[in-house]
Structure 1
């Protein structure tokens, strides 16, 4: 057993939680794996009795297992331990292969045959579907050792490997380049053990959330790097480059990975220097690629071809580029060199057109019915502006199941039809993409189903689909699912759903998580101080106006920092003066109300009216609220507030609509009270989500026109929609329960703002 595998096992044992074995079901055995390997996998992943499966790898070291063989003495001494290990991890190809080799060494023909059949069954299952199409679904394995055991059992020669993506999503694919002697080509097979580990590891505070996948992926990479694994060093170099700013000025961060043969480091280095040319940027790149190209490694040869085509690190030479690409395609199954170079050119489309030789070979491949190359051509077309037009061969390739192991081809079809205004076709492919596992499609379909759900079963099914999207890496799905937790007052759950997307760099998720910390919600791990530091980082390094607005709010309230009205003014003003409408509106309101220390109505109005002139509908909410509640309490001012809310509602702002209806239905002044109109204005709020405050408004309007039974029904819905324990808190919840009592008594709610109508 390798040092790296030992470290991985130790890492996973720290995360794993001991769960009791299932009492009424016998453990999986080799015969179960042989008879039905997929069913064995499904039970293994769902049964908490296998939470300590990774500890079973210790038996590999005990019997001296390696790709070369086993130690017969170790096999004899640890025969019982190896048998027990297989019961703990019955889907491990490496363990079954170790048992086969040990049985052969000890002359136990029956055990050797059984172990061989189990090894073969699991290996065939892993390779049973296409692992070489466009974005294939990776073969599931328990750990890295199983990948190499599978290669040995399949007679495939290992050459090199690389992680297919920098950020872990549902999978963290390890692509292994192997030489297939029977076909006489290099094949790139996709494997994944992160999704498996995520199912096995339970008991961590963030088990069940996407962030655990990131923890596992980074833990695997760190453990493998300590064992000098080239693919892990490659990934660490790319992560260091991104952390340093991902510019041509810091490409030195990539060199250790590229020098180790890393595909991700070398390709990132090449593209960075192509997109951000700088003196000396590509120095050493060709030197890093050449030794591997000379060893007939196809991916390195393809990257070398791209370097010649672009003139990165060498003089631009299309002939040499084409000759190298010919070599890569001869070595790499399925024109892999062309697929790699053409796929990378998608990122270069804005800089320059592809060379003629690449276009010619793309067209030739498409005409001969190549299943993957037309997909890359479609991606080229979709990278251009305007309504795209794809060839029939490209449309067929995108719809080919071989290119939809995780729904990527279908997702491109959604994009295609959406850009052409063909909504019905786009929706149809969206469903296909979701069913195939595309996370963004799952997020979109789940959100649509959730909005239309009328039963708890429908709601659970929609939420489950959104969760799948979040686990697949959709930041939108993560935020949506977190929002549902926030609405229910489940703060720790919301943090769990947001963490993964926030750590992956999604700014909206970072802001949502910081908001959770800023409010010091119970059960979360972050603090108000962390929220402030996050906002400062987003302001300084991301130039985020939203972050500066939040800092201003904290400075005004003295929350997480000393109260500082001067800094608050500066944070709001810097973006207002740059044309940020939200900052202008917030600054205007603060000046109107004196939140910044001095009341300045003329300047406050100027900023709010400036935002309104620029069609920032939310400005109507603040401006109307100031007139209605905070100006001088005169009837004309209150009427002006309602008018501003009306204009905001007509401009499409739902909060303005809510406030306008609320004012009409609850005003104490006969001159402003208009129940029939208020109810008419309020009704669309029921179609725009299930916010408790909006349902509360609609209920108030029904009571205002004397429809008390409906008001009671809606008010109960509003109370049930309140977050956390507020629904059961009859003393709080902003009067929700008090209003319910009024409606039950056949009375409308009158907002106690003015003691009497203004005599004027």
Structure 2
């Protein structure tokens, strides 16, 4: 399976951490500013935290970063876990305070030691990247695991990735598959994608194209453009012929391009997605259009100055190979993966039943279609 990943990361951990788990004080009702300040002055940690957030974001009160930070600090000193975590994000991002990665790590650790999953994940990320602390893959894995065991999907996925690669922990693709499954069953798109890839390649689990397709399908229901791209690629190039669906692949490839353009607010199209569109068109018998899209992918690849030369040459060879196939009116299909011999299935995975996946029907070979002149 062509390895493409969603580059969707949250640039502002503050908002994620703050609003995923607002204190019960704020959830019960929208308390007005006067009442909130009264409770905060009495030392109520939830009120101090909520008031601080509002002052930082300007939600319902006059925005005041400095006072907002002070209010959150008062809550943090009372061992308010969310407040401690937010102070970590404020120092990491330099919002309302001077950017200080070491201090950010300290606040994350304070909350993480008390069992707060978001802080455990953030501290793990600091160790993973060497931000504010010395880079330590083993400690990163340890903290990702702590958060993962609390059911935190991003941590489950991050820990699974460490297991899959053997980074800071003993390599185990089987354990990685299980942790990806935990995240995937909570509808976390990166986990669904990675689990699908394992089924597709037979790493940690036996090769199972139907399960791979089912997980790609579920992920593609999200607004993640790369999830739609992955399913389009699967339907166009899967080694199992009776799972091909060129028409649906074309629709998904177009959706991926549309979504990525909306997110980027530009007409720029990633060459990986253009490559997928070419494969989908070829699978649908539209070989002339496929040829034109593949030629464009080669041109855009050439313009990517940031890609290492070795990677560029590898992709260039792959793109040219596919172009030659389309010029011969032949769709591209990926080769059968070798898979891991000792891989065992995951009995906890009920995706086929959940998605009500039918047994695939044998499809007739796609005949070439006349060009519609739909150039790139």
| TM-score normalised by the chain length of structure 1 | 0.30
What's the counterpart of residue 414 of structure 1? Answer: 52
CA contact (8 A) 1:410 1:433 kept: yes
Which of 177, 185, 196 does residue 552 from structure 1 map onto?
A: 196
Which of 29, 38, 42 does residue 396 from structure 1 map onto?
A: 38
Distance 1:380 1:484 in 2: 31
Distance 1:395 1:472 in 2: 27
CA contact (8 A) 1:623 1:641 kept: no
Distance 1:520 1:379, change over 3 A: closer
Shift of 1:636: 6.3
What's the counterpart of residue 608 of structure 1? Answer: 253
Distance 1:389 1:606, change over 3 A: same
Distance 2:61 2:234 in 1: 43
Distance 1:528 1:560 in 2: 4
Could you tell me which runs of 5 or more consecutive residues in structure 1 were left unpaired when the two chains were aligned. 1-377, 644-661, 667-696, 701-733, 739-749
Q: Deviations over 1:91-148 (max 9, x none)?
A: xxxxxxxxxxxxxxxxxxxxxxxxxxxxxxxxxxxxxxxxxxxxxxxxxxxxxxxxxx
Distance 2:259 2:298 in 1: 19
The yes-or-no answer on 1:490 pairing with 2:139 is no
Shift of 1:486: 2.2
What's the counterpart of residue 563 of structure 1? Answer: 207
Distance 2:117 2:192 in 1: 22
Which of 459, 462, 466 does residue 104 from structure 2 map onto?
A: 462
Q: Secondary structure at the match of 1:473?
A: coil
The yes-or-no answer on 1:588 pairing with 2:215 is no
CA contact (8 A) 1:413 1:426 kept: yes
Deviates more, 1:553-562 or 1:430-439: 430-439
CA contact (8 A) 1:589 1:623 kept: no
Which of 169, 176, 179 does residue 524 from structure 1 map onto?
A: 169
The yes-or-no answer on 1:475 pairing with 2:125 is no
Q: Secondary structure at the match of 1:497?
A: helix
Q: Deviations over 1:530-572 (max 9, x none)?
A: 22223345555x4555543322110112110222223211222
| TM-score normalised by the chain length of structure 2 | 0.56
CA contact (8 A) 2:72 2:83 kept: yes
CA contact (8 A) 1:381 1:389 kept: no
Which of 70, 81, 102 does residue 439 from structure 1 map onto?
A: 81
CA contact (8 A) 2:254 2:277 kept: no
What's the counterpart of residue 500 of structure 1? Answer: 146
Distance 1:463 1:566, change over 3 A: same
CA contact (8 A) 1:479 1:498 kept: yes
Q: Deviations over 1:398-451 (max 9, x none)?
A: 1334x3xxx444213234544326432534423443455433233333233234
Q: Secondary structure at the match of 2:204?
A: coil
Distance 1:426 1:570 in 2: 46
Distance 1:429 1:464 in 2: 19
Distance 1:627 1:560, change over 3 A: same
Distance 2:173 2:213 in 1: 21
Distance 1:531 1:573 in 2: 21
Distance 2:164 2:254 in 1: 30
Which of 429, 438, 458 does residue 71 from structure 2 map onto?
A: 429
Q: Deviations over 1:428-479 (max 9, x none)?
A: 42344345543323333323323459xxx94323322222232233322221
CA contact (8 A) 2:233 2:276 kept: no
CA contact (8 A) 1:627 1:641 kept: no
Shift of 1:508: 2.3
Distance 1:539 1:415, change over 3 A: same
Shift of 1:601: 5.1
What's the counterpart of residue 112 of structure 1? Answer: none
The yes-or-no answer on 1:627 pairing with 2:293 is no
1:269-418 pair list within 5 angstroms: 382-384=27-29, 388-392=31-35, 394-401=36-43, 403=44, 407-417=45-55, 418=57
Q: Deviations over 1:563-613 (max 9, x none)?
A: 222321122224536887654332013334x14545655432311323454
Distance 1:554 1:532 in 2: 7
Distance 1:416 1:664, change over 3 A: same
Shift of 1:510: 2.1
Distance 1:663 1:754, change over 3 A: closer
Distance 2:139 2:250 in 1: 41
Shift of 1:663: 5.7
Distance 1:641 1:442 in 2: 49
CA contact (8 A) 1:535 1:550 kept: yes
Distance 1:391 1:641 in 2: 61
What's the counterpart of residue 350 of structure 2? Answer: none
Distance 1:442 1:526, change over 3 A: farther
Distance 1:561 1:439 in 2: 38
Distance 2:162 2:107 in 1: 24
Shift of 1:497: 1.2
Q: CA RMSD in A?
A: 4.3
The structure with the largest alpha-carbon Rg is 1
Distance 1:546 1:754 in 2: 27
Distance 2:77 2:42 in 1: 14
Distance 1:536 1:476 in 2: 20
Distance 1:754 1:381 in 2: 55
CA contact (8 A) 1:625 1:641 kept: no
